Amino acid sequence: MREKFVNLEKRIGIEFKDKNLLVQAFCHRSYLNENLDFNLGHNERLEFLGDAVLELIVTNYLYFKYTEQTEGELTSWRASLVNSKTIGETAEELGFYDYILLSKGESRENGKARLFILADVFEAFIGALYLDRGYDITRDFVENHLVCKLSKIIELGLYRDPKSVLQEKTQEETGVTPAYEVLRESGPDHKKHFVIGVFLKQNQVGKGAGWSKKEAEESAAKDALEKQNWK
């Protein structure tokens, strides 16, 4: 099992002192249900830690790099970097999916479900890296693989909140304020997954999913903008 992760260490150029931490970062809860003899836990505690470390690193970078920007601008830029889509895509680019330990059912997931799994693993990996190699190496990894995407995000205006943009557009075009409704929710209380629809009056114009209502609403708003071909 641990030998498999040697290739990942070579790919990212970082060698873990504690190989168990690295393996655990890639262990989805579902894997344990089918592998009762697995001697490590799942990655959710590491994900919890990694989320906080990731936000601290990005916040610290933005604060000292962009001294003229307002708190609101920095908050929008940070949100565009640490959301599930951006970190999930970063994990995909790094080849993380090939190493995730999943149940047979979860391993067949595609699309957004796959992206959310990747995002969780990325955060868990950051938590494991922080524990194993410390803040400086973790910071360098995040800046080299994630923060480097900021210039493109700013250039293309991808940091703008999709919900705000959708409300502006719908008010302009139809005079109607979009409304959001939970279509489905699943999972335990500590890990709820939401599917939310956005409506203009009675018409559903978009749908999105996320691990929080806010994330799902933003995903739904983005879906609506794309379907209406509104930039």
* Catalytic sites, residue numbers: 51, 123
- CA distance linking residue 60 with residue 43, whole number of Å: 25
DSSP label at residue 14: -
Which distant-in-sequence residues (6+ apart) come within 8 Å of 67 by Cβ?
none
Answer yes or no: are the C-beta atoms of 230 and 220 closer than 8 Å. no
As to burial, measured by CB atoms within 10 angstroms (0-12 exposed, 13-18 middle, 19+ buried), residue 92 is middle
- CA distance linking residue 54 with residue 71, whole number of Å: 18
- CA distance linking residue 35 with residue 224, whole number of Å: 41
- CA distance linking residue 169 with residue 231, whole number of Å: 9
Strands in the chain per DSSP E? 179-186, 193-200, 203-210
Q: Locate 195 and state its tokens.
A: 């599917």
Q: Which residues pair with 194 in a beta bridge?
A: 185, 210
- CA distance linking residue 127 with residue 34, whole number of Å: 25
